[in-house]
Amino acid sequence: MTELVLFHHVQGLTDGVRALADDLREAGHTVHTPDVFEGRTFATLAEGMAFARESGFDTLTERAVAAAETLGPDLVYAGISFGVMAAQRLAQTRPGARGALLLESCVPVTGDWAFGPWPAGVPVQVHGMAEDPEFAGGGDLDAARELVEVVGAGAELFTYPGDQHLFTDRSLASYDAAATALLLERALAFLART
């Protein structure tokens, strides 16, 4: 089975993020869930973003990188929304990455925001809702399409009907059970191949 690290979204390490990690564990995978917010959770995206800005995006990303450094290099890096920044950075820059599972966000692989070229042989899977204003409207869907084009074989993009952000977090009102079940099915198939 696969060992992965799952980085939480901007509302923190919520019960819903923990539940998603537990779903992956129930399938036999080892899942680490570092808490880069050090126990803080937020009721809204706006509150979480305010905290992230105040703390500093670089500071929070460095906490995530430091957490991954305590683990072996042979990992799949996964992130939900805000957590994708750390997951994608590690997948692209830390030797030994087995794959990347990017949920509800994607960082461009070219241009000023890029972490460098995508490493050869590292598979990636991206998931998001087709009408999510954060994912589709914020440029992440375009970045995901570019990523799939750049990586080619081993890269997959899945979109789901709907406009919810953080649809995988069952502790939030945005949770979509059907979309999350399909995402899990696809993610588990991906992990079985890595």
Give me the pLDDT at residue 112, please. Answer: 78
Count of CB atoms within 10 A of residue 162's CB?
A: 16
The confidence score (pLDDT) of residue 44 equals 96
Q: pLDDT at position 113, please?
A: 75
pTM for the model = 0.96
Q: What pLDDT was estimated at residue 116? A: 87
Query: 6 - beta bridge partners?
Result: 78
Q: Which residue in the block uniquely carries the two structure tokens 């305590």?
A: 70
Mention every residue, 6+ apart, whose C-beta is less than 8 A from residue 48: 9, 10, 11, 12, 42, 82
**pLDDT value at residue 114:** 84
Domain architecture of the chain: domains with CATH: 3-193 (3.40.50.1820)
Judge contact between 87 and 69, C-beta under 8 A. no
Per-residue pLDDT at 20: 98
190: closest CA among 53, 2, 63?
A: 2
pLDDT score at 107:
95
Mean pLDDT for each 10-residue chunk of the chain (194 residues)?
97 98 98 97 96 94 94 95 96 96 95 86 97 95 96 96 98 98 98 94
Phi/psi of residue 75, nearest 5 degrees: -125, 155
**What are the tokens at 148?**
């799939």
